[in-house]
C-alpha cells in the first residue's frame, strides 16, 4: 500500500512539472503562431478546414493545428493533475481545488481561442485569451510551490516589491501582445526611440511606445528586486530565484531591443514573448516563496 502511495505521489510530481512546462510552452507556441501569421491558418474551430487533421501542404494550418494540439495535451495533463492530487490527499483540499479550477480555466481559455478564430482575430479577444493563458501559468507555478517548496521568512517590503514587479511583468507582456495585434508591433523601427522624432506622431506608435515604457520600468524593478534578493537572501531559494529573474529579465530586454534591429524576425519575436512568460512565472514564484515575518 505504501508503495502504491509513493508511486502516486511521484506521478503527481511529474505531472506538476509537465503542467508548468505546458503553461510556458502553450503561450510561446501561440506567439510563434502569431508572428508567422498563422493565427487564422485554420479558419474554423475546433476542426481545421472541416477535418481533425490539417492539410499537410499548408504550413500555416499545421502551425495553428499544432498550437491547438498543444492546448489539448495541456488539458489532458490538467485532468491527470486533478485525479492524482485527489488520490494523494484523499480529500478535496486546497491543491485539488486549485488544479480543478485551473482545468476549468484551461477549458475556458480554449473556448476563447475558438472565439479568436471565429471573430477574425479581434485584438481585444486575443489579449483576453493570452491573459487567461498567463493566469493558468501563474496557478501552475503557485500550486507547485505550495506542494513542494518551503517559503522563506522575510519582510513585507520585499513581498510588495515582488508584487509590483509581477504586475509590471504581466502588464508588459499583455501590452506588447496587444500592440502586435493592433498592427503596432513593427511601427517603431528604431530603439529606444520610435523613429527619427523624439515624440511619437501616430496612435499606433504611442501604443508601441507605451509597451516600451512599461518594459523599461519593469527591467528597473527586476534589477532592484534581484539585487535585494541576492544580497539579503544569500544561500536560500529566494537568492537563486533572484539570479534567475535577473538573467531572464536582462535576456528578455536584449531580445526585445534586437527585434527592430533584426528586421522583426520570427525567432526574436517568439523568443521575446517566451522569455516574458518565464519572467512572469519567476516573479509569481518569488511571491509564493516569501513568508512575511510577523511583527
pLDDT at 294 over 90: no
> Average pLDDT of 40-68?
83
pLDDT exceeds 80 at position 115: no
Residue 125's pLDDT band, with cuts at 50, 70 and 90, is confident
How would you label 254-291 residue by residue, b for 16+ Cβ within 10 Å and e otherwise? Answer: ebbbbbbeeeeeeebbbbbbbbbbbbbbbbbbbbbbbe
Residue 16: which residues within 8 A CB-CB, separation 6 or more? 81, 140, 143, 144, 147, 148
Over residues 6-38, the pLDDT tens digits come to 588 899 999 999 999 999 998 888 878 877 877
Residue 295 reports pLDDT greater than 70:
no
Domain ranges across the chain = 1-148, 151-295
Contact status, residue 176 vs residue 253, Cβ threshold 8 Å: no
146 within 8 A of 99, measured Cβ to Cβ = no
pLDDT digits (tens, 9 = 90+) for 242-267: 999 999 999 988 887 777 777 667 77
Amino acid at each position: 500500500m505504501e508503495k502504491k502511495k509513493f508511486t502516486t505521489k511521484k506521478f503527481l510530481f511529474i505531472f506538476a512539472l509537465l503542467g508548468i512546462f505546458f503553461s510556458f510552452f502553450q503561450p510561446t507556441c501561440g506567439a510563434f503562431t502569431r508572428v508567422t501569421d498563422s493565427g487564422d491558418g485554420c479558419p474554423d474551430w475546433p476542426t481545421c478546414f472541416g477535418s481533425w487533421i490539417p492539410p499537410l501542404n499548408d504550413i500555416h494550418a499545421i502551425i495553428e493545428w499544432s498550437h491547438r494540439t498543444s492546448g489539448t495535451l495541456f488539458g489532458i495533463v490538467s485532468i491527470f493533475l486533478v485525479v492524482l492530487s485527489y488520490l494523494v490527499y484523499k480529500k478535496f483540499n486546497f491543491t485539488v481545488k486549485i488544479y480543478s479550477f485551473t482545468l476549468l480555466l484551461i477549458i475556458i481559455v480554449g473556448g476563447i481561442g475558438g472565439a479568436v478564430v471565429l471573430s477574425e482575430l479581434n485584438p481585444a479577444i486575443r489579449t483576453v485569451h493570452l491573459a487567461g493563458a498567463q493566469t493558468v501559468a501563474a496557478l501552475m507555478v503557485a500550486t507547485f510551490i505550495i506542494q513542494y517548496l518551503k517559503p522563506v521568512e522575510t519582510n513585507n517590503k520585499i513581498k510588495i516589491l515582488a508584487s509590483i514587479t509581477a504586475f509590471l511583468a504581466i502588464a508588459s507582456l499583455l501590452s506588447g501582445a496587444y500592440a502586435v495585434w493592433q498592427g503596432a508591433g513593427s511601427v517603431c523601427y528604431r530603439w529606444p526611440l520610435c523613429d527619427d522624432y523624439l515624440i511619437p506622431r501616430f496612435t499606433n506608435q504611442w501604443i508601441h511606445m507605451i509597451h516600451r515604457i512599461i518594459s523599461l520600468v519593469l527591467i528597473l524593478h527586476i534589477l532592484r528586486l534581484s539585487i535585494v534578493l541576492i544580497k539579503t537572501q544569500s544561500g536560500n531559494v529566494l537568492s537563486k530565484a533572484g539570479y534567475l529573474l535577473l538573467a531572464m529579465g536582462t535576456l528578455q530586454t536584449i531580445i526585445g531591443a534586437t527585434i527592430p534591429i533584426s528586421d522583426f524576425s520570427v525567432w526574436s519575436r517568439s523568443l521575446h514573448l517566451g522569455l516574458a512568460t518565464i519572467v512572469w512565472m519567476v516573479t509569481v514564484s518569488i511571491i509564493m516563496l516569501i513568508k512575511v515575518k510577523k511583527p
